[in-house]
């Protein structure tokens, strides 16, 4: 029932309260003035009150907070980001039947092994778009739209020259159409034009992976930014024909923004806020779908080599990826594979882009992953890599405090 009251209080109670308070203020002013002065003076000043109110409110219409989700005038190539009112109502009507995902965060170690083949082949991939409810932070719930029920979607791994047959199925319980645009595709819409699926429908896209790289895939159903910021993104790695240098561990992490009507930390089910998305003011900026999505699930040992596949679903911010207490031995800027650069502190991961970083684990301890636009830490943009092993005091030494600082 908490969901229903959230919607009701948002749309109706707020409007109702404003109208009552405003009318009562007008009557009160009139009564007080009439008591103190003549009826004519009271009427004249009441007219001033009404006139000034019209002057201020007529140009802007309803106060800003009350406008959404009824309307928002925008100028994109397709539908604007406001959710169709019918879908909002359908969502609340079907709230009981939405799948509850206990942990929306994709396990960062869930990555297919490196490709051993030396010849291209045909790879079949199946993905399902699902709309679910899960926890963003303790007590804060969000209606996520996903590939395969987690954020980000599954890590896809193919080889340069492979032909990919990708079947996209939209879960029958979905309320929206979805599709997929893979940046690894050469062809119209990155595949979106042949994969638009209604709830319960399946469609297949075939494409050749012409170029190596680490590419973002995402839903491209209008409003695209709206679909993406609900969690519809993931990464596809097209390995170079000769493969990547071998490493001991690989991790899959992806940043994304979430725009909620309630402020940061406001409990209950949070409705998507289209205006905040247009303004670029996210409430949550997180790794792998939720606050602490990368806490407690990334480990390593001294002496190992680590590769991180970093992506950014956006939809407004570029990420400034940094690991506190580490130097990236190699970065493939913007995930352009084959030609890495050396000894990098922070790498930019564009919205709708990726980066690949590699480094040795030289010393035990906790290493925080951050977006080094550090104000974003408080919105959730951090994670922790825990490294075990023998400490070498020639690399690092001193009296250790509890948490690793900067
Ligand atoms: Cu979608």
Query: Average pLDDT for residues 111-123, to the nearest whole number?
Result: 96
Percentage of the chain with pLDDT > 90?
69
Looking at residue 41, its pLDDT comes to 83
Q: Do 117 and 239 belong together in one domain?
A: yes
The parent domain of residue 45 ranges over 2-67
Looking at residue 59, its pLDDT comes to 62
Percentage of the chain with pLDDT > 70?
91
197 Cα: distance to centroid of ligand 1 (angstroms) = 9
CATH for 150: 2.60.40.420
pLDDT tens per residue across span 297-310 = 999 999 999 999 99
Q: Do 284 and 384 belong together in one domain?
A: yes
401 is a domain residue: no
327 is a domain residue: yes
32 is a domain residue: yes
d(CA 399, CA 93): 58
Q: Which residues pair with 133 in a beta bridge?
A: 100, 143
Looking at residue 6, its pLDDT comes to 62
397 is a domain residue: no
Question: What does pTM read for this prediction?
Answer: 0.85
Query: With bands split at pLDDT 50, 70 and 90, how would you rate the model's confidence at 224?
Result: very high
- Is the pLDDT score of 393 beyond 80? yes
Looking at residue 42, its pLDDT comes to 81
175 Cα: distance to centroid of ligand 1 (angstroms) = 10
224 Cα: distance to centroid of ligand 1 (angstroms) = 7
Name the phi and psi angles at 196, rounded to 5. -70, 115
Looking at residue 271, its pLDDT comes to 86
Question: What six digits make up the tokens of 55?
Answer: 């002057």
pLDDT tens per residue across span 99-112 = 999 999 999 999 99
Looking at residue 243, its pLDDT comes to 94
Query: Average pLDDT for residues 96-123, to the nearest whole number?
Result: 94
Query: With bands split at pLDDT 50, 70 and 90, how would you rate the model's confidence at 137?
Result: very high
Q: What's the structural domain count of the chain?
A: 3
Q: Which of 202, 230, 248 is the last residue of a domain?
A: 248
Query: Average pLDDT for residues 193-222, to the nearest whole number?
Result: 96
Q: Do 244 and 267 belong together in one domain?
A: no
108 is a domain residue: yes
Question: What six digits make up the tokens of 210?
Answer: 């012409």
Q: Which of 248, 269, 291 is the last residue of a domain?
A: 248
Q: Do 275 and 324 belong together in one domain?
A: yes
228 Cα: distance to centroid of ligand 1 (angstroms) = 7
Q: Do 265 and 360 belong together in one domain?
A: yes
Looking at residue 67, its pLDDT comes to 47
Q: Do 357 and 311 belong together in one domain?
A: yes
Q: Do 228 and 282 belong together in one domain?
A: no
Q: Do 207 and 333 belong together in one domain?
A: no
Q: Do 147 and 197 belong together in one domain?
A: yes
Q: Do 62 and 130 belong together in one domain?
A: no
Query: Average pLDDT for residues 45-72, to the nearest whole number?
Result: 68
145 Cα: distance to centroid of ligand 1 (angstroms) = 7
185 is a domain residue: yes
Q: For the chain, give the secondary structure using H, E and C.
A: CHHHHHHHHHHHHHHHHHHHHHHHHHHHHHHHHHHHCCHHHHHHHHHHHHHHHHHHHCCCCCCHHHHCCCCCCCCCCCCCCCCCHHHHHHHHHCHHHCEEECCCECCCCCCCCCCCCCCCCEEEEEEEEEEEEEEEECCEEEEEEEECCEECCCCEEEECCCEEEEEEEECCCCCCCECCEECCCCCHHHHHHHCCECCCCEEEEEEECCCCEEEEEECCCCCHHHHHHCCCEEEEEEECCCCCCCCCEEEEEEEEEECECCCCCCCEEECECHHHHHHCCCCEEEECCECCCCCCCCEEECCCEEEEEEEECCCCCCEEEEECCCCEEEEEHHHCCCCCEEEECEEEECCCEEEEEEEECCCCEEEEEEECCHHHHHHCCEEEEEEECCCCCCCCCCCCCCCCCC
Strand arrangement, sheet containing 299-301: 299-301, 382-388, 365-371, 319-323, 346-349
Q: Do 289 and 147 belong together in one domain?
A: no
Looking at residue 90, its pLDDT comes to 78
Q: Do 143 and 241 belong together in one domain?
A: yes
Cite the annotated binding site for Cu cation by residue number: 178, 183, 218-219, 227, 232, 372
pLDDT tens per residue across span 325-374 = 999 999 999 999 988 999 999 999 999 999 999 999 999 999 999 999 99
- Is the pLDDT score of 83 beyond 80? no
Which residues keep their CB under 5 angstroms from ion ligand 1? Answer: 178, 219, 221, 227, 232
Q: Which of 190, 217, 248 is the last residue of a domain?
A: 248
Sequence-ordered list of residues with C-beta below 8 angstroms from that of 63, at least 6 positions apart, any chain: 18
Q: Which residue has the higher pLDDT, 371 or 78?
A: 371
């Amino acid at each position: 029932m908490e969901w229903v009251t959230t919607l009701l209080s948002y749309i109706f109670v707020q409007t109702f309260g404003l109208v009552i308070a405003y009318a009562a203020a007008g009557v009160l002013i009139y009564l007080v003035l009439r008591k103190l002065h003549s009826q004519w003076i009271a009427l004249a000043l009441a007219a001033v009150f009404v006139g000034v109110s019209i002057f201020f409110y007529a140009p802007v219409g309803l106060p800003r907070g009350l406008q959404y989700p009824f309307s928002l005038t925008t100028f994109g190539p397709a539908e604007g980001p406001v959710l169709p009112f019918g879908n909002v109502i359908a969502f609340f009507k079907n709230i009981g039947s939405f799948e509850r995902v206990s942990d929306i965060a994709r396990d960062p170690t869930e990555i297919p092994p490196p490709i051993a083949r030396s010849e291209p082949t045909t790879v079949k991939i199946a993905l399902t778009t699902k709309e679910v409810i899960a926890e963003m932070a303790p007590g804060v719930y969000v209606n996520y739209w996903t590939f395969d029920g987690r954020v980000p979607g599954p890590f896809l791994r193919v080889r340069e020259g492979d032909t990919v047959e990708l079947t996209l199925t939209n879960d029958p319980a979905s309320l929206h159409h979805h599709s997929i645009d893979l940046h690894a595709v050469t062809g119209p819409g990155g595949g979106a034009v042949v994969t638009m699926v209604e709830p319960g429908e399946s469609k297949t896209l075939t494409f050749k992976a012409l170029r190596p790289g680490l590419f973002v895939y995402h839903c491209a159903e209008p409003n695209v930014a709206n679909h993406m910021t609900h969690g519809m993104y993931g990464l596809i790695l097209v390995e170079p024909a000769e493969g990547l240098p071998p490493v001991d561990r690989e991790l899959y992490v992806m940043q994304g923004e979430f725009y909620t009507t309630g402020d940061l930390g406001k409990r209950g089910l949070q409705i998507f806020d289209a205006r905040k998305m247009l303004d670029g003011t996210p409430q949550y900026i997180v790794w792998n779908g939720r606050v602490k999505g990368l806490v407690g699930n990334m480990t390593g040992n001294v002496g190992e080599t680590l590769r991180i596949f970093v992506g950014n679903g956006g939809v407004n911010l570029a990420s400034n990826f940094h690991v506190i207490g580490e130097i990236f031995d190699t970065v493939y800027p913007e995930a352009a594979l084959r030609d890495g650069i050396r000894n990098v502190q922070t790498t930019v991961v564009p919205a709708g882009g990726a980066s690949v970083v590699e480094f040795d684990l030289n010393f035990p301890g906790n290493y925080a992953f951050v977006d080094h636009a550090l104000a974003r830490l408080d919105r959730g943009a951090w994670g922790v890599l825990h490294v075990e092993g023998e400490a070498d005091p020639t690399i690092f030494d001193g009296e250790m405090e509890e948490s690793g600082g900067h």
